[in-house]
């Protein structure tokens, strides 16, 4: 069987013409984070530890829409959210509306492990983070010049951007939102079939203050049970409506589909074209990375030596 | 076929010896709200309108844990949340962390219909409510003496209560806590289907007694406490964390869709086999006009009616029925 890991940095209308100076830092980041995850699995860390670790790396990287580099609300602020789930116990933790917490995914984990609740948001979540001694910084630390520009462009275009954001040169807008920047996520399984999923994001560019997306919604953007672990990305509202992460596992459980078939089905039939992507692993060590968008920043590896880092559909 | 409607006022450890003065107002409220829903369906209102209407009534009634009568956070405040979903389009709206909005379910509907989003929470949701002209009042309006007392008892017992709360007479002997929490008070919800198979679900709550500030439960989580598609509409109640982990509302629909189970079998399967005992109840209707109201707790305040004239009310497993 063996361990397996997959991670993503966002699905969306990633143009094939993406210039190298925009593509390479993200590719390098994915490669680096994949290695971090692989090393942790080799060191026998639990999948729960692994996905948290990898997502923290992605949050700290300003090229992705999570933690530092989060896209901005309509008021130019950041409101970050994240979710983590342990497949074996189905324990989970979620947070929304964070403005100063450096690693939202870690706060989600603390909610899961140290409270009788699953989900804390906004002021209550921020207060809890301080009580628990999590690292917090001034909100300005998460805001990058690129995202200030992205917000400006989105306001001009008067549109809400979907998950992956194009670089900030004026590109011709295409269907369903170009100019997107990616939510991040990671799923992992160990040799014993223990599964975990984690997702983190700044949300949608120009979103209304207080808007919550799919990432912290158990069964939408994040889900894990004893069959599989799933992390989704794309247009949050479509993923919520489509209960994407839960549906992948429900198709396996109730209809007997394989991981690959279930993921393909959800992405092709249960959400509108151009709105969603996901990474998933199964208890048997299989992995799949499906998306119905132009591209999805992704990376994966399995114990037998398979490795993949990609953006567009592989031929 | 025909229309069908079901509503609940919370599942939990409802003591069989609950005194009449506590039981009767809730019974009367459910019968009243059922009638409102039935009249609306007879008047050909859409299921979406019907469930919103019924939940507004339940929110306004101080005997249920939603709107006025919401249970209190650990700081003695209210934070209300709600969710509404239209089965045909799968459009949905959800809100959390409301402190002044009189009818959370109506704000959820406005989020669904007037924004590109599904879910708004806390300050952003409150601000949006004002911009949209929804009715708001001082937070003290929602706080009842019964709930102040409940919070006090809970802090003393140092436990987090689940959904349905027992009454607060001090002279009643201290109930021995059973299962995962007695002294609960109910989330409210309603599901409805019309003659054409259009479905809708709505749920509203104040959450858990003594919950942490900022805690969100299952009610506003699409697929957990609330869900509707073209097969069925579901509204769940009980211990929020169990409903979320069990993706209860979506699982009922998924069992029907992917495994071909009937509404009744799917709902029973979820409640009996897929969530811990003493934690969950739900009401659901199908596109074919069927109704089911299973629960694995001591009781669940519930009522339902179908176009053929059958109406039912219950708290514990036994029911009372009559002809409409």
- B122 close to A (CB below 8 A): yes
- Rounded distance between C-alpha atoms, residue B121 and residue B217, angstroms: 13
Length of chain B: 324
pLDDT of residue A163: 53
A214 labeled binding residue: yes
Average pLDDT of the segment spanning A263-282: 97
- B173 close to A (CB below 8 A): no
Give the pLDDT confidence of B238-263 residue by residue, as tens digits.
999 999 999 999 999 999 999 999 99
pTM (two decimals): 0.93
In this structure, of B176-180, B277-281, B285-289, the range with the lowest mean pLDDT score is B176-180
pLDDT of residue B159: 59
Torsion sign over Cα B70, B73, B75, B80: negative
Q: Is there a contact between A254 and B250 if contact means CB atoms under 8 Å apart?
A: no
pLDDT of residue A221: 97
- B130 close to A (CB below 8 A): no
Q: Is there a contact between B255 and A254 if contact means CB atoms under 8 Å apart?
A: yes
- Rounded distance between C-alpha atoms, residue B85 and residue B323, angstroms: 29
- B128 close to A (CB below 8 A): yes
Question: Which residues contact residue B255 at a Cβ distance below 8 angstroms, ignoring those fewer than 6 apart?
Answer: A254, B261, B265, B266, B269, B270
CATH code reported for the domain at A4-310: 3.60.20.30
Phi, psi dihedrals of residue A88, rounded to the nearest 5°: -65, -45
pLDDT of residue B173: 33
Give yes or no for a contact between A135 and A102, defined as CB atoms under 8 angstroms apart: yes
Residues from chain A contacting residue B269 (CB–CB below 8 Å): none
- A211 close to B (CB below 8 A): yes
Residues from chain B contacting residue A237 (CB–CB below 8 Å): 116-118
Q: Per the structure block, which two tokens stand in for B278?
A: 């003493």
pLDDT of residue B57: 98
Domain boundaries, chain B: 4-161+184-310
Active site residue A74: no
pLDDT of residue A298: 97
Mean per-residue pLDDT over chain B, rounded: 91
Tally C-beta pairs within 8 A across A and B: 141
Where are any strands of DSSP class E within B147-219?
A: 188-193, 199-205, 215-216
Annotated active-site residue in A100, A183, A215, A222: A183
**Which of A207, A218, A237 faces B247 most closely, judged by CB atoms?**
A218
pLDDT of residue A160: 58
More confident residue, B176 or B294: B294
**Which of A123, A223, A247 faces B213 most closely, judged by CB atoms?**
A123
pLDDT of residue A274: 94
Dihedral Cα A213, A215, A218, A220, nearest 10 deg: 70
Dihedral Cα A219, B200, B257, B91, nearest 10 deg: -50
Q: Is there a contact between A220 and B216 if contact means CB atoms under 8 Å apart?
A: no
Quote the distance between the C-alpha of residue A259 and its chain's center. Answer: 19
Domain B4-161+184-310, architecture per CATH: 4-Layer Sandwich (3.60)
Position B180 confidence tier, pLDDT thresholds 50, 70, 90: very low
Where are any strands of DSSP class E within chain B?
A: 4-12, 80-86, 92-98, 119-121, 188-193, 199-205, 215-216, 226-228, 232-238, 280-286, 291-292, 299-306, 310-314, 319-323
Considering only residues 93 to 112 of chain A, which have any Cβ-Cβ distance to chain B shorter than 8 Å?
94, 96-97
Give the pLDDT confidence of B261-275 residue by residue, as tens digits.
999 999 999 999 999
- B124 close to A (CB below 8 A): yes
**Interface-testing mutation among B94, B95, B110, B122, with chain A (most A C-beta atoms within 10 A):** B122
Position A170 confidence tier, pLDDT thresholds 50, 70, 90: very low
């Amino acid at each position: 069987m063996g361990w397996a890991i997959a991670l993503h940095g966002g699905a969306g209308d990633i143009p094939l013409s993406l210039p190298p100076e925009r593509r390479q830092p993200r590719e390098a980041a994915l490669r680096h984070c994949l290695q971090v995850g692989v090393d942790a699995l080799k060191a026998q860390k639990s999948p729960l530890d692994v996905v948290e670790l990898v997502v923290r790396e992605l949050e700290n990287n300003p090229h992705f829409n999570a933690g530092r580099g989060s896209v901005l609300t309509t008021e130019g602020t950041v409101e970050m959210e994240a979710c983590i789930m342990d497949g074996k116990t189905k324990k989970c933790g979620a947070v929304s509306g964070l403005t100063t917490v450096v690693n939202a995914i870690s706060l989600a984990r603390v909610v899961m492990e140290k409270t009788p609740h699953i989900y804390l948001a906004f002021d209550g979540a921020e207060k809890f983070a301080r009580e628990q001694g999590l690292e917090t910084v001034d909100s300005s630390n998460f805001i990058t010049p690129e995202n200030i520009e992205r917000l400006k462009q989105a306001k001009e275009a008067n549109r809400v951007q979907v998950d992956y954001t194009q670089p900030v040169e004026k590109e011709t807008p295409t269907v369903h939102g170009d100019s997107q920047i990616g939510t991040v996520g990671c799923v992992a399984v160990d040799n014993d079939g223990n599964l975990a999923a984690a997702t983190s994001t700044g949300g949608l560019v120009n979103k209304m203050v207080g808007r919550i997306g799919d990432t912290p919604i158990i069964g939408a953007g994040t889900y894990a049970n004893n069959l599989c672990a799933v992390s989704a990305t794309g247009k949050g509202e479509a993923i919520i409506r489509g209960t994407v992460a839960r549906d992948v596992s429900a198709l396996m459980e109730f209809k007997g589909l394989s991981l690959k078939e279930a993921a393909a089905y959800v992405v092709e039939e249960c959400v509108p074209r151009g709105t969603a992507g996901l990474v998933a692993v199964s208890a048997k060590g299989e992995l799949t990375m499906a998306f119905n968008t132009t591209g999805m920043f992704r990376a994966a590896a399995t114990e037998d030596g398979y490795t993949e880092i990609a953006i567009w559909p592989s031929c």
